[in-house]
Amino acid sequence: MRKRRLASLLPLLCFIVFLTLPLAVFSQEAFPTGSATGTTEINPLRNAGQIPFIDLQIRDPQSNKEVAFSVQLLLLLTLLSLAPSILILTTSFLRISIVLDFVKRALSLQQVPPTQVLNGIALFLTIFIMWPTFLAVYDGAYKPLADGQATITEAFSAAEKPIRMFMYRQMSNDTSSIGTFMVMAKLPKPRTLADVPTRVLVPAYILHELTVAFKIGILLYIPFIIIDMVVASILMSMGMIMLPPVQISMPFKLILFILIDGWGLLTQQLFNSFL
């Protein structure tokens, strides 16, 4: 019986020795000679860390300039929050993104390429096409504002001009959308671009870009619809009614799109449409 009890207590004794052995070893001087000695005491001569003091004051404006500056700052923050919408609706991004989506649907592709990839392609093509306009905005508005040679109001007016010229050039062959919004706003017939306010030019440009993008999409759809019709008629003549024609026509559409260098032609024609 005593042997059995000792056998049962042996693992417990081994576990206790295993726990106490490191403490006995590390309590001795196990470090090599010449090593630095550590301490847990805090140096009383050490300066405490300094935390910066933040002082926020809200007071009434002392002059009209301070009121105008506050309003300008508010308008600037509002403009920055609307920057993505401005980038999408007043540049070439709208037309390019819609055309790329038409191509994806015409090829009967559901997940490839992803929507994020198409938007990225549209974004960088927009930067490529709009680069002269962006340079004009930088040289005429941002640089004078950064150098202190122009106010926010003057910089906004200078930045507005190149963008207005770009939008007007796209609608130079078809100004019906401008006339529509001028009539809706009850404004007189404009003689020059300066007579068209920006609040009229921007929605007119959006309507024009939607119309042009849908026209390009229809032209892109026609050859792929013909392939779908041919494949569907062949399947029906063979009695294969239960087989979806899209599964058979999609490889042929992809082969045709690659053989004619579809991405290159599409990019080139989109670029030429903005010239």
Q: What is the pLDDT of residues 125-176, one digit of tens each?
A: 999 998 999 899 888 888 887 777 877 778 878 888 888 888 888 887 777 7
Cα gap 194→204, rounded to integer Å:
15
Cα gap 132→162, rounded to integer Å:
9
What is the number of other CB atoms lying within 10 angstroms of the CB of residue 158? 19
**CB 167 within 8 Å of CB 201:** yes
Contacts of 77 (CB under 8 A, 6+ apart): none
What pLDDT sits at residue 27? Answer: 47
Averaged pLDDT, groups of 10, the chain, 275 residues long:
56 58 48 57 59 60 61 72 82 90 85 86 91 88 80 80 88 80 84 82 90 90 86 80 76 86 88 85
What pLDDT sits at residue 58? Answer: 62
What pLDDT sits at residue 144? Answer: 82
What pLDDT sits at residue 240? Answer: 75
How far separated are the first and last CA of the chain, in Å rounded? Answer: 103
pTM: 0.68
Alpha-carbon 56 to chain mean position? 34
Contacts of 271 (CB under 8 A, 6+ apart): 125, 128, 129
What pLDDT sits at residue 43? Answer: 60
User: Hey, what long-range contacts does 105-108 have (CB within 8 A, 24 or more apart)?
Assistant: 106/217, 106/220, 106/221, 106/224, 106/225, 106/253, 107/224, 107/250, 107/253, 107/254, 107/257, 108/224, 108/228, 108/246, 108/249, 108/250, 108/253
